[in-house]
A and B are shown apart, each in its own frame.
Chain A
Amino acid sequence: NQSPLPPGSLPAIPSLPLLRALRVRAPGSQAWQAGPASGQPLRYMLNLYRRAADRDGRPRRGHSLGTNTIRLVQASAHEGQPWAGRWYVQPLTYRLESQPKAEHLLRATVVYLPSLPLLRSHLLCTLELAATSKTPGALLSPATRPRHGWAEADVTPYLMPGNGSMGSLVLRHVCVHAGRARGHDALVAPSHPFLLLYLNDTRAGLAPPVAEPHRHRR
């Protein structure tokens, strides 16, 4: 006797993973009207998506990402003037406020552009990870020129539990150091590195196909 739900409307507590995610994590249509995500992070994720799935969204065989969930977290920059002459120094923090319980962290990487071509020069960048109580500090710089320009470095040991709600994560004291190699281009800030969390969602996970129970021929 119930009238059909209009498109997009959902029950209060959906039990299916897709609908629960839609209810809890999806932006409202007003947020979308404010402007879709754009820029380098979106471009990176679209490339990752095209490698992992075909045009119909079917996961490609042999191109597995090794997990069923990858979350991109953008940095929040600290206040202050990052430019000093030809040098750029920007401390960053990454926060994920509420990590769903069913999503188990496998590893975390930071993705950055070590070299940004400008009109008459290059901006060369490295990342500095501050030491924690368990891990020494590190300076990240790829040994070879990375394919597609992006470099990815494992920062799992540097990820700490956040102070906020249960399941929150934080990566503090990541510092971008960049310098113009030569020339006198205008001050173009490097795009901020972003954090990728490789997660295993035990609800929507890539469980191996259930073996078909043996049945006798009829």
Chain B
Amino acid sequence: DTGTLAHDLPSYLREQGGEKSDCSLRPFPISFAQLGWDHWIIAPHRYNPRYCKGICPRLLRYDYHAPNHAVVQSFVHQLVDANVPRPSCVPYRYSPISVLMIERDGGILYKEYENMIAESCTCR
């Protein structure tokens, strides 16, 4: 009953702490020293891979880019069996990063690595 589900949504959000707990992109700036790679990567000095965290709501909004299966799994979790987990909040789109590296032989390497910065999240 989609009418009931839509009616449920405000209380669902209140129950989960509102939109603050919704699946969303969060910043997480780190240094390559924290990863133990600072002897190797000399630029950039800062790196923010970001991460996705939060609850995937019962009704997945269109901007979550969730596939139809995620919608069904959400319904199964809510209506049929809570042992089936809710869809997970995971990165959807990424952007690359350019790094400058020192190699063992003293060479210097410029390289672009794909999928190093999360740009948006989805429920999958």
Q: Give residues in A with beta carbon < 8 Å to B.
A: 6-8, 17-18, 21-22, 25-29, 31-32, 36-37, 41-42, 45-46, 48-49, 52-53, 55-59, 65, 68-74, 96-97, 201, 204-207, 215, 217-218
Pairs of residues from A and B, 6 with the lowest C-beta to C-beta distance, nearest first: A8-B36, A32-B39, A53-B98, A57-B44, A7-B36, A26-B40
Q: Which stretch from B12-20, B80-88, B106-114 is at the chain A interface?
A: B106-114
In the assembled complex, the CB of B98 is this many whole angstroms from the nearest CB of chain A, namely: 4
Residue from A36, A68, A97 in contact with B111 in the complex, judged by beta carbons closer than 8 Å = A68
Give Cα A153 to B88, complex, Å: 52
Chain B interface residue bracket vs A: 35 or more
Is A204 within 8 A of B35, CB to CB? Answer: no
* CB<8 Å pairs between A and B, sample of 29: A6-B36, A7-B34, A25-B101, A25-B103, A25-B109, A26-B40, A28-B104, A36-B102, A42-B108, A45-B100, A45-B110, A46-B43, A48-B110, A49-B43, A49-B98, A56-B47, A56-B97, A57-B116, A58-B95, A58-B96, A59-B97, A69-B111, A71-B109, A72-B110, A74-B106, A204-B112, A205-B114, A215-B67, A218-B71
Contact assessment for A217 and B62 in the assembled complex, using a CB-CB cutoff below 8 Å: yes
Residues on B with beta carbons closer than 8 Å to the beta carbon of A49 = 43, 98, 100, 110
Give the chain B neighbours of A8 by CB distance below 8 A.
Answer: 35-37
In this assembly, does B48 line the interface, its C-beta being within 8 Å of a C-beta of chain A?
Answer: yes
Q: B67: nearest residue on chain A (CB-CB)?
A: A215
**Residues on B with beta carbons closer than 8 Å to the beta carbon of A73:** 107
Residue of B100, B110, B116 ringed by the most chain A CB atoms within 10 A? B110
Closest A residue, CB atoms, query B102: A37
Could you mark each residue 41-52 of chain B with 1 if its beta carbon is under 8 Å from any beta carbon of chain A, else 0?
011111110000
**Which one of A26, A45, A69 lies within 8 Å of B112 (CB-CB)?**
A69
B68 at the interface (CB under 8 A from A): yes
- Judge whether A45 and B98 touch: CB under 8 Å: no
Whether the Cβ atoms of A218 and B46 lie closer than 8 Å is: no
Please tell me if B76 contacts chain A, counting CB pairs below 8 Å: no
User: Which residues of the other chain, A, contact B35 by a CB distance below 8 angstroms?
Assistant: 7-8
- Contact between B39 and A27, CB atoms less than 8 A apart: yes
CB distance from B60 to the nearest CB of A (A): 9
How far apart are the CA atoms of A56 and B28 in the complex, in Å? 12
Contact of A52 (CB < 8 Å), options: B37, B71, B98, B105: B98
Which of chain B's residues have a CB closer than 8 A to the CB of A32? 39-40, 102
- From 66 to 84 in chain B, residues with beta carbon under 8 angstroms from any chain A beta carbon are 67-68, 71
User: Is B104's CB under 8 angstroms from A56's CB?
Assistant: no
Interchain CB contact (< 8 A) of B98 among A57, A72, A218: A57
Which residue from A6, A31, A46, A217 sits with its C-beta under 8 Å from B104?
Answer: A31
B117 at the interface (CB under 8 A from A): yes
Residue among B68, B99, B108 having the largest count of chain A Cβ atoms under 10 Å: B108
Which of B112, B114, B116 has the most C-beta atoms of chain A within 10 angstroms of its own C-beta? B112
Q: B107, A74: Cβ atoms under 8 Å?
A: yes
Decide: B37 and A57 in contact? CB cutoff 8 A.
no
Question: B45's closest neighbor in chain A, by CB?
Answer: A55
Chain A residue contacts of B107, Cβ below 8 A: 71-74, 96
